Amino acid sequence: MLQSIEVDPRRFCKDSQSWETRSEVSAFPRLAHEFTQGELFCRVDGRADTFGSLSLRLTIRGEVGLTCQRCLGSMRHAVLVERTLYLARNETELERLDAMPDSDAILVGETLDLLDLVEDEVLLSLPLVAMHAEGECPV
Ligand SMILES: [Zn+2]
């Protein structure tokens, strides 16, 4: 099982650090319950731009197995997440950053668990109800 990756998010960005893993979905504490099989590649890159804004660039990709909610059979699902998240210190900053075009922000404290963040993003990217396309459930 993968362990928490606790970092100081601001330091992580200021130092342009990065973290990556390629793991079976069964090794992710929360994703293990969602997927029947598959492997995910995850990478997080910290960045500080010339204006001093700190952001995390997330790349997550892989192919996983989901349970179809119509036939309960297995279906393949491609995960592809590419997002840049700006770090906000408080609610005001969060609102300001979120209002900018093509910008997403997250509120972070002194520590951030990168594994948790990656899992959140994968869960958000999933279809609300996983199902084979109409008429494509194997009989
Ligand atoms: Zn189905």
Q: For 104-119, how does the pLDDT look when each residue is reduced to its tens digit (9 = 90+)?
A: 999 999 999 999 999 9
User: 31: closest CA among 74, 68, 79, 88?
Assistant: 79
Share of the chain above pLDDT 70, in %: 100
Local structure of residue 107 (DSSP, 8 states): E
CA of 63 to the centre of ligand 1 (A): 17
Expressed in angstroms and rounded, the spacing between residue 16 Cα and the centre of ligand 1 is 43
Q: How far is the CA of 31 from the centre of ligand 1 (A)?
A: 20
Share of the chain above pLDDT 90, in %: 87
| 14-59 per-position pLDDT tens digit | 999 999 999 999 999 999 999 999 999 999 999 999 888 999 999 9
Per-domain boundaries in the chain: 6-125
pLDDT band, residue 91 (cuts 50/70/90): very high
Calculate how far, in angstroms, residue 78's C-alpha sits from the geometric centre of ligand 1.
Answer: 16
Q: Would the pTM count as exceeding 0.75?
A: yes
Residues 6+ apart with CB under 8 A from 60: 40, 41, 42, 43, 79, 80, 81, 82, 118, 121, 122, 125
